[in-house]
Amino acid sequence: MEIKEYVKERKAYLTDLINHLPVPPKLVIIQVNEDEASMAYIRGKIKDLSTINANYEHIKLPLDISEEALLSVIEQYNHDETVDGILVQMPLPKGIDEEKVKEAVTPLKDVDGFHPLSSYIPCTPKGIIDYLENEKIEFSGKNAVVIGRSNIVGKPMAKLLLNKNCNVTVLHSKTTKEDMAFYLKHADIVVVAVGRKYFIDEQELKKSAVIVDVGINRVDGILYGDCRPNLDVKLQTPVPGGVGLLTRLSMLENLILCYKKRRGLKDEF
């Protein structure tokens, strides 16, 4: 099923689920920047929340806010019983320690899955696994290659694939071209999170491979993935209209999981 279709179905399901709850879940979005990309992300999140009938509060804080003041705002929402999830939009202004902020959000309301002790899976890896499962992709004993080792995509992605019994290889900026080609040639599942337009282009791939493109590269106002479109493989996620939609969906699911966990309800759908 195409990602657009899959996300539409899941959102319809979440809307129905929320319509049967006594009160809808509520997300607080804290914004301390004015960059275009963040504004676009937040607009997308607000649109999604409205679509599924969830509540939200969008708080814009001054760019010159101190770290201490931001932490105290987060603390206030950690204790606010009407709030189920807290999302602090990254990046934060220079001088504010992002790691400290990520750790300030209580793990119980951490919809991003950023906290080291979070009960929730970071949105991008979660969205990818859920989608591949829905596509009935086999994991056990398969060669999975993750390119990129960030804390929010590469590392958690590798862990999830390992938990699904894949043979996992994590490649990164220090991997040689020769080794990259070797691992790609043998890969059944490739997750590419490099941040370079068409990083995967002419390399040899299995025709049966599944390629997940996490890249969002804006060049002259046009969005490109990390992979050339129409590779000769079994499944390739598009950009745009691919992993970005899955990430947004996962945030909604994590919000509902927060809502349920806080109320001692069974945290599954």
DSSP state of 227: B
- When binding is defined by CB under 6 A, the residue of 90, 108, 162, 223 that contacts ligand GUN is 90
Residue (65 or 90) nearer to ligand GUN, CB: 90
> Minimum distance between the CB of residue 28 and ligand GUN, rounded to whole angstroms?
12
> Minimum distance between the CB of residue 97 and ligand GUN, rounded to whole angstroms?
15
In this structure, the dihedral spanned by the alpha carbons of residues 103, 152, 6 and 212, taken in order and rounded to 10 degrees, is 180
For helices 123-134 and 3-19, what crossing angle results, to 10°?
A: 100
How many residues form the binding site for ligand GUN (CB under 6 A)?
A: 7
Residue 33 class from Cβ within 10 Å (0-12 exposed, 13-18 middle, 19+ buried)? Answer: middle
Does residue 88 belong to the site contacting ligand GUN (CB under 6 A)?
Answer: yes
C-alpha 73: how far from its chain's center? Answer: 24
Omega prior to 91 cis, within 30 of 0: yes
Residue (113 or 158) nearer to ligand GUN, CB: 113
> What SS3 state is found at 230?
coil
> Minimum distance between the CB of residue 136 and ligand GUN, rounded to whole angstroms?
27
Choices 52-60, 86-94, 132-140, 223-231; region in contact with ligand GUN by CB under 6 A? 86-94
Choices 9-17, 88-96, 160-168, 169-177; region in contact with ligand GUN by CB under 6 A? 88-96
Identify residues 100-139 at the interface with ligand GUN (CB under 6 A): 112, 123
DSSP state of 91: P
Where do contacts with ligand GUN occur on this chain (CB under 6 A)? 41, 87-90, 112, 123
